[in-house]
Amino acid sequence: MLTQVLKTLAHSVISLFLLFTFVFFMIRIMPGDPARLLGGAGASDYDVQTLRESLGLDRSVMEQFLIFVRNVAQGDFGRSIQTGQPVGAEILTALAWSFSLVTAAMLLAIAFAVPAGVVAAVKRNRLPDISLTSIAVASTSLPAFWLALILIEVFSVNLRLLPSGGTGDLRNYILPTVVLAATQVGLITRMTRASVVEVLTADYVRTARAKGVHPYRILLRHVLVNAAAPTVTVVGLQTGLVLAGSIVTETIFNWPGVGRLLIRAVQARDYPMIQALILVFGVAMVTFNLLADLLNMLIDPRLRKK
């Protein structure tokens, strides 16, 4: 089992390096000059050139790349072009905000989607299935920005029950959590439904019925564990994706997370910040997938190789 984890990690390091290299060169192809953006409209060519040199952007791209790789290897991601602060600290703060929001959203999504998927599978092709699956897919199909604006309109503007944005107390979590969860509900419901449907027709479920096991117990002891793997995998994958991809939600709700940080960094052509963020997103993807794999191995001993 340990070798499997090590192997996955080794693969991850390679893919992260490729991802990072790709991003490094792509953002430098992107039109726009960070030095000119930082200097502002009134800066002279000379000022811009001085800025460029101080940022190390006058060197060749290859040289910049090698310097950057060396620094990253030493744990130094550089300083933000916008603020001059080390990007690491800024990202960590934002990551904490994003992570707490994503965790809440995924838990909410699972709390709805897994029971919904199970019920839909048991009552397949009947009313509970059709209604639950429809709700799940519909909520995922709503664009996040639209849902967010509607919720703000109803709960913040009209009812004045919940704050429309920012990070005051726990009430601030409610609306962004609901919006993010809604985007995930459809996929998790469908996944759970599909695997439970498959397990329900398995021979060992028939064996359990032939033993006289109660249907609820069959569901709990024989079906759910065996149907868990695909859902666990999808949740792992989606957690990574949502962490990196909640830009719209964070922007609308003025949430100080990594999504908003990325948008600002791109607008300012803040190369070190963009590079570091991409790397963080990559690490997040890898970590959550690995966690999902580990959880699956815990559930199913057959996945553990000797």
Partner 1 sequence: MTNILEVKGLTTSFLRSGNWTPVVHGIDFQVKRGETLAVVGESGSGKSVTALSVMRLLPPRTSRVEGSIKLGGDELLDRSEAEMRGIRGNRVAMIFQEPMTSLNPLMPVGEQIREAIMLHRNVSLAEAKALALDMLDKVRIPSAAKRYGEIPHQFSGGMRQRVMIAMALACKPELIIADEPTTALDVTIQAQILELLRDLREEEDMSVLFITHDMGVVAEIADRVMVMQNGSLVEEAEVRQLFRAPAASYTRTLLEAVPVVGSMAGKDAPEAFKASTFKVPPSPRPAHDAPLLDVKGLTIRFDVRSGLFERVSARVHAVENVSFSIGRGETLALVGESGSGKSTIGRTLVGLANCLRGEIRVAGEKEGSLCRTIEERRQRVQMIFQDPYASLDPRLRIGRALTEPLRIRGVSERDALEQAAELMRLVRLSPDMLKRFPHEFSGGQRQRICIARALSVKPALLIADEAVSALDVSIKAQIIDLMLELQQELDLSYLFISHDMAVVERLSHRVAVMYLGEIVEMGSRRNVFENPQHPYTRRLLQAVPVPDPERRMRRSLTVDEIHSPIRTKDFIPPVRRMITVSPGHVVQQWEMA
Chain residues binding partner 1 by CB under 8 A are 3, 6-7, 10, 202-204, 206-214, 221-222, 225-226, 299-302, 305-306
Q: How many residues does the chain have?
A: 306
Helix ranges (H only) for the chain are 2-29, 34-39, 45-55, 61-73, 87-122, 127-141, 144-151, 171-200, 203-211, 215-217, 224-245, 247-252, 258-267, 271-299
* Residue 300 beta carbon to partner 1: minimum distance, rounded to whole angstroms: 6
CB of 303 to partner 1, least distance (A): 10
Q: What minimum distance in Å lies between the beta carbon of 225 and partner 1?
A: 5
**Residue (6 or 161) nearer to partner 1, CB:** 6
Q: How many whole angstroms separate alpha carbon 270 and alpha carbon 119?
A: 48
Which CB, 194 or 202, lies closer to partner 1? 202
Nearer to partner 1, 40 or 212 (CB): 212
When the beta carbons of 92 and 225 are compared against partner 1, the nearer one is 225
Taken in order 217, 221, 222, 228, the sign of the CA dihedral is: positive
Q: Tell me whether residue 9 or residue 138 sits nearer to partner 1 (CB atom).
A: 9
Indicate the DSSP class of residue 193. Answer: H
CB 23 within 8 A of CB 31: no
Q: How far is the CB of 206 from partner 1 (least distance, A)?
A: 7
CB of 3 to partner 1, least distance (A): 5
